[in-house]
Amino acid sequence: MRRVGVAAALVALLAALPGCADRERIPPSTTTSTTTTTMGPTTSEASAPPAPDELRVAISDDQPGLGLKREGTYTGLDADIARFVAGQLGVEQVTFVRSVPDQRDELLATRQADLVVASYSMTEERARTVRFAGPYLVTGQDLLVREGSKIGSPKNLRGKTVCGATGSAGTALLVEKFVGLRIVTEPTVAACVERLREGDVAAVTSDAAILAGYLMDDEGERDLKLTGKQFSTERYGIAMRPEDEQLCERVTAALETMMRSGAWRTAVRSNLPEPQLIGTRTYVTPQVEPCLHTPEQDETETSPATTTG
């Protein structure tokens, strides 16, 4: 069996298993969260519920620069964001739970996770089933191709096969905006990149901040490249259950503190490639917005009343 087949089968098997968990102690925060009038009504420290002893955070474990697990330790921007927020909430211990794109909502709904910090784009559709705090990063969808490829933008994909992660909004967007290409999916971006290196697909689609982590091969040689033609705007947020309104307000305040204190800029610079590679907008401190949740209305409430003769 070819190496890509073995790798894809292994990834699929792991994705089907319950999220693996790793506990980590969080040192007390030395930065104080404050609320501002721009964020609307927020929960004061006096009325806020006590911090839980443990916070379960769903995170990717195979995305270099964002969420990567090596020898039991998580590194990357998403991991640093999660640790900072936990410290601001006064949580003593974080349990990182392995997540893949197609399982993020499920981990919240089944209470295997309290927060999702896993390069999760904030969209109106997703906000119907989760509550978002953020954004904490802005990036855009791009294409990853082999060095020497003549693919310079999505317009060059006609007749080509492109791989995307199952459950990714970007995969659906590519099909919607560009015709004549063939899409195949894998549970993770890492599995798609393996197929690209094996020559099974012509390109991998995901966000530039994600794809940039896969440019180097196992020997440290750059064998892949980004096209640099981003064709969407993706705003990463921290997701939680819809009913967790107070938690969302506190997470929002924590993100504001991270932006204002300079901790966010330090985390971005230490985890992500240079702005020339992934886009300068990713290095611009985002404006944290009020919590986003747009539940679907009951049809009986939205449909006009009917009358008879």
Strands of 182-186's sheet, edge to edge? 182-186, 161-165, 203-207, 141-146, 224-226
Give the pLDDT confidence score for residue 19 in this predicted structure: 56
Averaged pLDDT for residues 92-116 = 95
Give the pLDDT confidence score for residue 1 in this predicted structure: 38
Give the pLDDT confidence score for residue 65 in this predicted structure: 96
Report the percent of the chain where pLDDT is more than 90. Answer: 70
Assign domain 16-139+236-292 one CATH number from 3.30.365.10, 3.10.50.40, 4.10.520.10, 3.40.190.10: 3.40.190.10
Give the pLDDT confidence score for residue 171 in this predicted structure: 82
Give the pLDDT confidence score for residue 107 in this predicted structure: 97
Give the pLDDT confidence score for residue 214 in this predicted structure: 96
Residue bearing the bigger pLDDT, 268 or 13: 268
Are 16-139+236-292 and 148-226 the same fold in CATH? yes
Give the pLDDT confidence score for residue 28 in this predicted structure: 54
Encode pLDDT of 218-237 as tens digits.
777 889 999 999 999 999 99
CATH code at 148-226: 3.40.190.10
Encode pLDDT of 176-217 as tens digits.
889 899 999 999 999 999 999 999 999 999 999 999 999 987
Instruction: Tell me the domain boundaries of the chain.
Output: 16-139+236-292, 148-226
Give the pLDDT confidence score for residue 219 in this predicted structure: 74
Encode pLDDT of 112-126 as tens digits.
999 999 999 999 999
Averaged pLDDT for residues 74-93 = 96
- Give 45's pLDDT tier (boundaries 50, 70, 90): very low
